Copies of this chain bind each other. A is one copy, B any other.
C-alpha cells in the first residue's frame, strides 16, 4: 500500500471561467517530435493522460508531429536558452506550450505544467524557463538487500526484500514522483555494502538491474549502485591494491561484464576507508589512487565514480585532545586536488562532522579548485528527529548553498553545480528519507524534504518558503480550484503548513544541542537526548563540557580546523566578534558566563532556547490541530500522532539538556523555571 505522494491528482473544481477555459484548452494536446518507441515520450504522454483524466474526468485528444495552433503543444526545439534537461512553459493566444531541448527536459516541463494547473498558476501570462543548476540531482538510498534501511524511518526498503530486488508498481510510482521534482540519478543500495549487496553487480542480479534501469531511464533517471571496494578479495584475488595491475584488470573486466548486462548504468558510489569499510589506505595508497583505478575501468562506458569523502578515524581515543575529526575530510583530500580522473566526483557531506542540526559548511567546498565535487545532504532525518519530529530541512540547505567559500567568491552552490570551475560532473545528492510506509516518508510533513530536495537540486535559487508552499498546496490542497481556494479558506491550509514547516528547523535546533556543538544524542540510534552519550566514545564528537566552560577551540590556537577555510572565512570563524553565534561552540571553547550579543549569558541562552523550543512545538501542534476537518483525514491523523510525540519528546530534550547544565554549573535559571 502506498499513496501517490504529491502526484495525488484529484478532480479540479472548475468553479470559475478561467479554470473552465483551461479545461477546454487542455482537451487537445499536440506532441511534436514524438517517438513511439521512446519510453520518455510514452511516459510524458501517460503523465498527461493520467493527470488530465483525474483533473477533468477525461483524457485529452492527442495529436503527434503535426502543426497545431491551439491546445497544449509539446515541442523539442533547439535554441540557446534551453540547455540539457531544461524547459520552457509559456502561454500563447490559444493555449500553452512546453518546449525543451531533450525529452528529459520535456518530461520536467510536463510535470511542472501539471503542477501549475494544480497550484493555480497557469495564468494567461505564464512564462517559466528553467535549466537545471546541477548536472547530477541524486538520491542515495541506504537500503540493505535483506530489506532493512540504514537510518530508515519509514518502514522497509521498496527496492529489496530477502536479498532480492523488487520491481513492481511501486517502483514506477517512485520513478514518476522523483522525476517530477527533477531527480535524475539514484543509488539504490546502502553505501555500506555488505552480504548479498557485494554481489549486486553479478549474474545474480544483472537482469533485475537492467529491468530497473530501463524503468528509471524512462523517467530520465540513471541507476547507480554502491560497491564494495574490496570486491576483488571476495572473488579470488589476494589484494585490492589499486596500483596492482591484476586488481585494475579485474575491475576492467568487471565493468565490461556489468555494462554488457546493464548498458545504461550511471556508475558507482563508493564509501572506502570509512567506518570500517575497506579502501586504498589498506595498501598505503591514496584516495585518488583508489578512485582513479575504478574511474579508468568504468570510463569506456561513460560511467561515473562518486567517491565519498567521509573518511576519518572512527576509533579515536577521547582522551586525545589533538585529533579533530572535523579536520579529517580536508586533511585526507585537499592535497589530492587535481589528481582525480575527470569521471570521478568527490561526494562531500555538507558539514565536516555528520548531518548535525547545525554545522559549518565543509572547507572542501572551495578547497579543491581542480576537482569535481558534489554535495551530500541527508533528508533521512537521522539527527533531526527521525521523521517523528517535523524538521523541514530546505532552509538549512539554502544556507549551505549560499555559503560564500571565498574561492573566487563562489558560493557552495556555484561550486557543486560545477559552474564556478566549469565542471560538468557535479551536483547534489541527498540520503533519502523514503521507505515502504504508505506515505513513503513516515511523517507526512517529511515528504516536503523529499519534494524540496528535488526541486532545490534542479533550481537552487528557489526559496524554501515557495517550495514549502507548492508542496503543501499539491499534497493537501490541490483539489481546490483557484477561486474557491480563497473562498473556502484553502489558503489557511497552505499558510498553516508553510508556517509549521518554516519554523520547524529553527525550533528543532533550539531544543537540541546548543550553538553548533552537536552530538548530544543517544549513541547508535541517534534519537533523543544524551548529553554525554558520545563524550567518552571513540567517535571524535566531543563537547568537553565541564563546570565552567564548553566547546572546542578549532581556531589556529586550537585544533586548527578553521585554518582549512579561505582566509576570509578563517578570520570570520576565528574572531569572537564575527563568528556566527549559532556556530560559537563549534569553533570556540567558551565559559558559560560569556555574554552573547543578545545580552544573555551562554548558560541563560541554553535555558531560554530550550524552553522556547518546547513551547514552539506546542504551538506548531496546536496550529496543526486547527486543520482538523480541512484536509484529508488520514494525513491529518498521522501527523497529529507524530505531533503528540514531538510535544512530549521536545520537553524531554529541554529538560535533559537544561538539567545537565544546571547540575554541572549549579546556576539557576534567571526566570526561575523548573530545572531538575
Q: Give Cα A663–Cα B319 distance, bound, in whole angstroms.
A: 13
Q: Which residues of B contact A318 (CB under 8 A)?
A: 676
A547, A652, A655, A662: residue with the most chain B Cβ atoms closer than 10 Å: A547
Taking a contact as CB atoms under 8 Å apart, the answer to whether A546 and B655 are in contact is no
Taking a contact as CB atoms under 8 Å apart, the answer to whether B536 and A659 are in contact is yes
Taking a contact as CB atoms under 8 Å apart, the answer to whether A666 and B319 are in contact is no
Q: Which residues of B contact A531 (CB under 8 A)?
A: 532
A147 CB–B CB distance under 8 Å? no
One digit per residue, 1 when the CB lies within 8 angstroms of any chain B CB and 0 when it does not, for chain A 531-572 equals 111001000000011111000000000000000000000000
A90 CB–B CB distance under 8 Å? no
**Among candidates B532, B544, B659, residue contacting A660 with C-beta atoms closer than 8 Å:** B532
Contact of A547 with B663 at beta-carbon distance under 8 Å, contacts A530-B532, A532-B532 already known: yes
A529 CB–B CB distance under 8 Å? yes
**Would you list the 7 A-B pairs with minimal beta carbon distance, nearest first?**
A546-B663, A536-B656, A547-B666, A532-B532, A319-B676, A547-B547, A664-B664
13 more A-B contacts (CB under 8 A) besides A536-B655, A536-B659? Answer: A319-B676, A522-B523, A532-B660, A533-B533, A536-B656, A536-B660, A544-B663, A545-B663, A546-B662, A546-B663, A546-B666, A547-B666, A663-B664
Taking a contact as CB atoms under 8 Å apart, the answer to whether A665 and B530 are in contact is no
Residue on B nearest A536 in the bound complex, by CB: B656
Taking a contact as CB atoms under 8 Å apart, the answer to whether A533 and B536 are in contact is no
Residue on B nearest A656 in the bound complex, by CB: B536
Q: Give Cα A531–Cα B535 distance, bound, in whole angstroms.
A: 11
Q: Which residues of B contact A522 (CB under 8 A)?
A: 523
Majority SS at the chain A contact face:
loop
Q: Give Cα A529–Cα B666 distance, bound, in whole angstroms.
A: 24
Q: Give Cα A365–Cα B548 distance, bound, in whole angstroms.
A: 46
Q: Give Cα A659–Cα B676 distance, bound, in whole angstroms.
A: 22
Taking a contact as CB atoms under 8 Å apart, the answer to whether B529 and A536 are in contact is yes
Q: How far is the CB of A552 from chain B (nearest CB, A)?
A: 14
Q: Give Cα A522–Cα B655 distance, bound, in whole angstroms.
A: 20
Q: Give Cα A663–Cα B536 distance, bound, in whole angstroms.
A: 12
Q: Which residues of B contact A530 (CB under 8 A)?
A: 532-533, 536
Residue on B nearest A665 in the bound complex, by CB: B547
Q: How far is the CB of A319 from chain B (nearest CB, A)?
A: 5
Taking a contact as CB atoms under 8 Å apart, the answer to whether B546 and A319 are in contact is no
In the complex, 9 of the A-B residue pairs with CB atoms within 8 angstroms, ordered by the A residue number, are: A522-B523, A529-B536, A530-B532, A530-B533, A532-B660, A536-B656, A546-B663, A547-B666, A663-B664
**Among candidates B319, B656, B664, residue contacting A547 with C-beta atoms closer than 8 Å:** B664
